Amino acid sequence: MEMIEPNVAALAWFALFASIASLGFYVVAGLFPLETRPDLTARPERLALAAATALAFAALLVGSALYGLEHLRWTSLVIVAGLAFLFAPGVFNLWPTRWRDGVAGLAITLAVTAAAIGALQMVGGVYLA
């Protein structure tokens, strides 16, 4: 394994971050355009939840990319990120519909993304400060 990727621990962390970011992509992609989501635009707190989820997703995406670029070989980064993005729709479709398309899904996604950002800070250093 060391000939393929010498930093296996960083590879495992990056796989986790890339998987969460890929799932977050599908949740956030379902938010836009906001005109199609009257359940979010009707109440300001739901709109704030959507904005916070989108910002957390963007922060995790940038932080994960920087972590991967610093700690992994380019080939490992591309393969793991590609596999995470490829298999994310299958995992996304396993979620109940009310989690995927509702406020509960946004709250869960925000919580998981925030936890992943915290883990990224602990493991990788200061990427998002």
pLDDT in tens, 6-17: 888 999 999 999
pLDDT band at 57 (very low <50, low <70, confident <90, very high): very high
Question: Helices 74-94 and 44-71 meet at what angle, rounded to 10?
Answer: 150
State the Rg of the chain over Cα.
Answer: 16
The Cα 75–Cα 36 span in angstroms is 39
Where in the chain are the domains? 8-124
Give the model confidence (pLDDT) of 10-55 as tens digits: 999 999 999 999 999 998 888 888 888 888 888 888 889 989 999 9
- Asked whether the beta carbons of 114 and 56 are under 8 A apart, the reply is yes
N-terminal to C-terminal alpha carbon distance within the chain: 33
Confidence (pLDDT) at 1: 62
